[in-house]
Structure 1
């Protein structure tokens, strides 16, 4: 579980995050949404420990990150999985080698144990036949699945995804969404997704945090978002013609 209390972050005197208070539960897919410049990326980087908050606390399982020793911070990072926007796969490594990389870096597993774990996660993301391929030889959707496999190979307690559906067609994006949701449930992971994809909001938004101007303007889930009493949020979510039609249908009770 992650708890955020009165989180502030400033750069050169400009306040980007202005007192964030929220929490993210294990076994739940939590989405951070908002327009460009709302503070989403800065918030995610604070959660990852890449930005040090100007003020406030972030708790991981009721222990504040500010009080962690260097050793405890290192252990926490080993319990974090990250799916990057561009995949961030190593071009010179095969799919199998990419997924094995965290095990070589952060564990003392034997070669046989690493082989078994890599095989297990690749099978879980339906890529057991792509072991020897290089990232350039597989599709964008397959690359994202490799990135997810690599992120979970160390059995993390926390999973962070930055725009996981970026550049994907709608059908492939839905597959990635469902994979993230299933893995979160199966392993009781605390999952936080930073996204612009409104399909993801309705597909897997078990918790939704809407940021605007560095402030949480709305919290809820995909079952109640269409009834949100926030004009900016409704305008943002239903900005496309597709979701305008969904909005009209919901209002008419279809």
Structure 2
């Protein structure tokens, strides 16, 4: 579990995060949503330890990141997997080498042990026959699956995903959503996803944190969204006619 208490982050005179309190639960898909400029990217980077914050705490199973020494922070980072928005694969490496990269960085496993670990996660994301392809030979969906395999190869406790469906067609996006959710449950990972994709929210949003102007404006589950009266949430979520119709049908079913 990750616990956030009274988190504040500024850049000069710009106060970006304004006292956020929340928790991200283990074994669940936790989503951060909000409009551009809401602070969700800055929030994610604070969670990753990439930005120092001025006030508040972020604790991982009770360990406050900014209170740890350099070695302890390194140990914690080794427990974190990251899926970047653009996959961020190394073009000069094949898929197997990309997946093995974190093992070379953070472990002392033998080459055969690293190979076994990489084989396992590639099979788990259904890419067992793609070891020697280069990233430019893989589709966008395949690249995302490679990125997920690389993120989990070191058996992380925490998995962060930044817009994992960016640039994907709707069908492939659903495949990636379901894969992330399955892996989260299978390995009991604390997964945090930064997303603007409402389809993802409604598919896998077990815990949703909605930010607006640097504040936590609402939190709940995908089921709570249908019944909330929070105007900021309804304006954001139901900006399309499709979701307005879905909400109307949901509320009619409750009558």
Please classify the TM superposition score into its range, dividing by the shorter chain length. Answer: over 0.9
Deviates more, 1:220-229 or 1:34-43: 220-229
Corresponding position: 1:185 with 2:198: no
Give distance in 2, aligned partners of 1:229 and 1:242: 18
In structure 2, C-alpha distance between the alignment counterparts of 1:63 and 1:105, rounded to whole Å: 23
Equivalent-residue separation in structure 1 for 2:144 and 2:196 (angstroms):
16
| 1:127 and 2:119 aligned | no
Superposed, 1:29-68 pairs within 5 Å as 29-68=29-68
Separation (CA, whole Å) in 2 of partners of 1:89 and 1:204: 25
Distance of 1:128 and 1:40 partners within structure 2: 34
Aligned length: 254
Cα distance in 1, alignment partners of residues 186 and 50 from structure 2: 28
Residues 227 and 251, structure 2, Cα contact 8 Å, conserved in 1: no
Corresponding residue for residue 170 of structure 2: 170
**Deviation at 1:16?**
0.4
Is 1:158 matched up with 2:158? Answer: yes
Q: CA deviation at 1:213?
A: 0.6
Q: Which residue of 1 aligns with 2:240?
A: 240
Q: Which residue of 2 aligns with 1:70?
A: 70
1:223 partner SS: helix
Q: How does 1:5-20 map to 2 (within 5 A)?
A: 5-20=5-20
Q: State how far apart, in whole Å, the 1-side matches of 2:233 and 2:25 are.
A: 23
SS in 1 for 2:18: strand
Question: What are structure 1's unaligned runs of at least 5 residues?
Answer: none
Runs ≥4 in structure 1, deviation > 4 angstroms?
none
Q: CA deviation at 1:252?
A: 2.3
TM-score normalized with structure 1 length: 0.98
Q: Which runs of 5+ in 2 are unaligned?
A: none
The alpha-carbon deviation at position 241 of structure 1 amounts to 2.8
What is residue 103 of structure 1 aligned with on the other side?
A: 103
The 5 A counterparts of 1:205-224 are 205-224=205-224
